[in-house]
Amino acid sequence: MIKYYLDFEKPIEELELKIEELKRISDGKDMNISGEIRRLEKKARDLRTEIFSKLTPWQKTLLARHPDRPYTLDYINIISEEFVELHGDRKFSDDKAIVGGIAKIGNDTVVIIGHQKGRGTKERIKRNFGQPHPEGYRKAFRLMELAEKFKKPVITLIDTPGAYPGIGAEERGQAEAISANLMLMSRLRVPVISVVIGEGGSGGALALSVSDRLYMLEHSVYSVISPEGCAAILWRKNGDLNADDFSKASDALKLTAQDLLQFKIIDDIIPEPLGGAHRDVEQTAKNISEKILEALDELRAKTPGKLTEERYKRLKKIGSFVEES
């Protein structure tokens, strides 16, 4: 498989290409070369540690959108022993930008729902680049009601650039579909756990993430508007915005997991392997599943009334204002 490197990973790419080249030449025999290989491998690891320890918000945004980054179904397939995907909103269609179904995680049956992006042109189009129409949110709504009826926890995985801005989406009530989910999730009488695994794109992401516990992967982002959208509003200079503008906008928006933990908008950060989730999908999935199970253990003990009461209290705390009396 051809690995995809982001711009800021180029120095690592060069080293790794060199290592592969040496490996091919030596074929594991020449002792002198294998020493050199070990030295270069350590250098690559150190370099990666260094680069990844000080990623900028924009670099994190790019990493969150990395074409090799694992998507919802990748994680579901690893963390669940069984999974039955369920389709359709029973009203209009089956939106493939949101997937969901019944899964067995550990000893629990849960309803798991997430945004789904595609890999490769054909699947990307099929998944509409992870941008749901109202039907996607209505499918999620239906599955969450199902979970509530059978007293199963709801797990959501967040990864979308945003809800799709199109004519059909507006005609069929994109805003209504999102608001209905926000309202439903706020009063679901079962535990709700959300994990941002990639891009948390505004209202389209929020519509699946009103929860008892909100986690983010280490290099995921969650924002009210994309850095590109923010830059376009702030510096509308003849349309030719560049990476510098996006970088400045990402700084201003405070969209990283680290920022949002500090603001207490999220509950915890789930670590990623060195180099990002795609470098070791199994390990990332394991980290996610451990966190989910830990939260489930904690939430299971609460009565439905207490759950919804605490969820409301959590939400109520999120605001930044002063009050003069």
Partner 1 sequence: MAWFKKGKELKADKKVKIPEGLWVKCDNCREIIYKKEIDKNLQVCPKCNYHFRISALERLKLIVDEGSFIEMDEGLSSSDPLKFRDRISYREKLEENRKKSGLEEAAISGEATIQGHPVILVIMDFSFMGGSMGSVVGEKVLRASETALEIKKPLITVASSGGARMQEGMFSLMQMARVSAAIARLKEGGVLYISILADPTFGGVTASFAMLGDIILAEPRSLIGFAGPRVIEQTIKQQLPEDFQRAEFLLEHGLIDKVVDRKELKKTVAQIIRLMA
- Asked if 320 touches partner 1 (CB under 8 A), the answer is yes
Nearer to partner 1, 50 or 176 (CB): 176
Query: Alpha helices of 54-173 — where are they, by DSSP H?
Result: 57-64, 72-79, 120-126, 134-149, 167-171
Between CA 68 and CA 110 the distance in angstroms is: 27
Query: Which of these, 59, 25, 14, lies nearest to 256 by C-alpha position?
Result: 59
Nearer to partner 1, 105 or 207 (CB): 207
Residue 246, C-beta contacts closer than 8 angstroms, at least 6 positions apart: 58, 61, 227, 228, 231
Between CA 127 and CA 132 the distance in angstroms is: 8
Residue 195, C-beta contacts closer than 8 angstroms, at least 6 positions apart: 155, 156, 157, 158, 214, 215, 216, 217, 270, 288, 291, 292
3-state secondary structure of 70: coil
Residue 313 in tokens: 């209290």
Q: Give me the least distance between CB of 163 and partner 1, in Å please.
A: 7
- Asked if 125 touches partner 1 (CB under 8 A), the answer is no
- Asked if 311 touches partner 1 (CB under 8 A), the answer is yes
The secondary structure element, H or E, covering residue 261 is: helix 257-262
Among the listed ranges 80-88, 120-128, 200-208, 282-290, the one in contact with partner 1 (CB under 8 A) is 200-208
- Asked if 3 touches partner 1 (CB under 8 A), the answer is no
Among 224, 241, 274, 293, binds partner 1 (CB under 8 A): 224
Q: Give me the least distance between CB of 176 and partner 1, in Å please.
A: 4
Nearer to partner 1, 209 or 289 (CB): 209
Among 192, 210, 217, 270, binds partner 1 (CB under 8 A): 210
Which residue, chain included where needed, has tokens 């918000």? 57
Between CA 144 and CA 155 the distance in angstroms is: 9
Among the listed ranges 5-13, 61-69, 143-151, 308-316, the one in contact with partner 1 (CB under 8 A) is 308-316
- Asked if 222 touches partner 1 (CB under 8 A), the answer is yes
Among the listed ranges 90-98, 107-115, 142-150, 247-255, the one in contact with partner 1 (CB under 8 A) is 247-255
Q: Map residues 160-199 to x or -, x wherever contact with partner 1 holds by CB under 8 A.
A: ---xxxxx-xxxxxxxx-xxx-xxxxxx------------
- Asked if 255 touches partner 1 (CB under 8 A), the answer is yes
Q: Residues in the site for partner 1, rule: CB under 8 A? A: 163-167, 169-176, 178-180, 182-187, 202-203, 206-207, 210, 222-225, 230, 233-235, 252-255, 260, 263, 265, 311-312, 315-316, 318-325
